[in-house]
Amino acid sequence: MKEVELFSDGACSGNPGPGGWGSILRFKGIEKELSGGEQETTNNRMELLAVINALESLKEPCKVKITTDSKYVSDAFLKNWIDSWQKNGWKTAAKKPVKNQELWERLLKQSQNHELTWIWIKGHAGHPENERCDKLAVEARLKYAK
């Protein structure tokens, strides 16, 4: 199974507002950059889409080491929130509907296709790939700003 590194970030101006996401996939030193955005969205949606779109672009099952500065995304897996949400019928511990359920379901599908390892890093702290993903996300966001 191929081992791939995935770096991701999301950006939003206003929350909600125009947003963008950026990802870098790395395999054997070769990098592929991806980005996109939406006109009216939230930062959390962009963080999720950065990971989802990168995983969906892989052509075969891979071992993927995901590095993100999003606690929202990483903690869902590292702290098993996503398992609890599913067991509770997509409700939070406070019995409220989980936001972005359709995106979480897309990410869960990818977690079945690939072996995922999650790494959380502090954002805007000089991590080169995280800084590059932030730049990609901001550039994508600007395309959707009015």
- Kindly indicate the confidence band of residue 124, based on its pLDDT and cuts at 50, 70 and 90: confident
First to last CA, the chain: 44
The model's pLDDT over 75-104, given as tens digits with 9 standing for 90+, comes to: 999 999 999 999 999 999 899 999 999 999
Let me know if 146 is exposed, middle or buried by CB neighbors in 10 A (0-12, 13-18, 19+). exposed
Task: Single out the catalytic residue among 19, 22, 37, 47.
Answer: 47
pTM for the structure as a whole: 0.96
| Known catalytic membership, residue 75 | no
**Residues near 110 by beta carbon (within 8 Å), at least 6 away in sequence:** 52, 55, 56, 116
The model's pLDDT over 39-51, given as tens digits with 9 standing for 90+, comes to: 999 999 999 999 9
Q: Nearest CA to 103 among 58, 73, 66, 144?
A: 73
| Known catalytic membership, residue 83 | no
What stretches of the chain show up as alpha helix (H) in DSSP?
A: 43-57, 71-78, 81-87, 101-113, 128-144
Task: Single out the catalytic residue among 20, 38, 69, 129.
Answer: 69
